Copies of this chain bind each other. A is one copy, B any other.
Amino acid sequence: MATMGNSTNIFWHECPVSKVDRQKLLNQQGCIVWITGLSGSGKSTLACSLGRQLHCRGKLSYVLDGDNLRHGLNKNLGFTPEDRTENIRRVGEVAKLFADAGLICIASLISPYRKDRDSCRALLPEKFIEVFLNMPLELCEGRDPKGLYKLARAGKIKGFTGIDDPYETPLNCEIEIRQEDGNCPTPNEMAGQVVSYLEDKGYLEA
């Protein structure tokens, strides 16, 4: 190695870089945490809290936010059924790359159709953690953080999930987050539930 000493040169030959090597470097296991749920269910909030809790433990995660990606990688996609599917497919493929890089990749998308979520799961079936943010429509609509439900009810947005387009409830999700006794868990509590799962399954060490 031109710029390094002999001892490094020897070490070099024992230093092939695989997913396992990256995971050892990070002391964690790459995976995809796929957060699905209605608009306003708290996906971005959970993703953010989860990222912070993991960072506080020295773990490297990265959030792929459906809305944000539409400004970059997916900016050439609209909201036709084909484009929605392609949107989710690309996020799934990128999430797989991040997991391969050793990161805990947190994908946050409504992803209303079972078929699309299952296609992403199939990309990395043994490392795919589907988190269903199971909040009642009334709660989400009451929050309406982006004012989208109001527009959908007024007919100004067509094909809005939960209003005039279906949300297909996960059948096989790893984690379900819901209200308890009518109370919504806090963002920290929701993130804690995911962190506990990751810890139990051994993702937080190499």
Which A residues are closer than 8 A to B by beta carbons? 1-4, 8-9, 11-12, 15-17, 21-22, 25-26, 48, 51-53, 55-56, 58, 60-62, 64, 72-73, 76, 86, 90, 93-94, 96-98, 100-103, 123, 185, 188-189, 191-193, 195-196, 199
Contacting residue for A90 out of B11, B73, B193, CB 8 A: B73
Contacting residue for A56 out of B8, B22, B123, B192, CB 8 A: B8
30 contacts between A and B (CB under 8 A): A1-B188, A1-B189, A2-B188, A2-B189, A2-B192, A2-B196, A3-B193, A3-B195, A3-B199, A4-B56, A8-B56, A11-B56, A12-B188, A16-B52, A17-B51, A17-B52, A21-B55, A22-B55, A22-B60, A26-B60, A60-B60, A62-B97, A72-B93, A72-B97, A73-B90, A73-B93, A76-B86, A94-B97, A98-B98, A98-B101
How distant is the Cα of A51 from the Cα of B103 in the complex, in angstroms?
16
Q: Which residues of chain B are near A58, meaning CB under 8 Å? A: 25
Q: Which residues of chain B are near A76, meaning CB under 8 Å? A: 86
Q: Which residues of chain B are near A52, meaning CB under 8 Å? A: 12, 15-17
User: Is chain A's interface secondary structure helix, strand, loop, or mixed overall?
Assistant: helix
List the number of copies, as a whole number: 2
Contacting residue for A73 out of B2, B61, B62, B94, CB 8 A: B94
Smallest CB-CB separation from A194: which chain B residue?
B3
Q: Which residues of chain B are near A123, meaning CB under 8 Å? A: 72
Q: Which residues of chain B are near A86, meaning CB under 8 Å? A: 76
Q: Which residues of chain B are near A48, meaning CB under 8 Å? A: 17
How distant is the Cα of A94 from the Cα of B72 in the complex, in angstroms?
9
Q: Which residues of chain B are near A191, meaning CB under 8 Å? A: 1
How distant is the Cα of A189 from the Cα of B51 in the complex, in angstroms?
38
Q: Which residues of chain B are near A97, meaning CB under 8 Å? A: 62, 64, 72-73, 94, 98
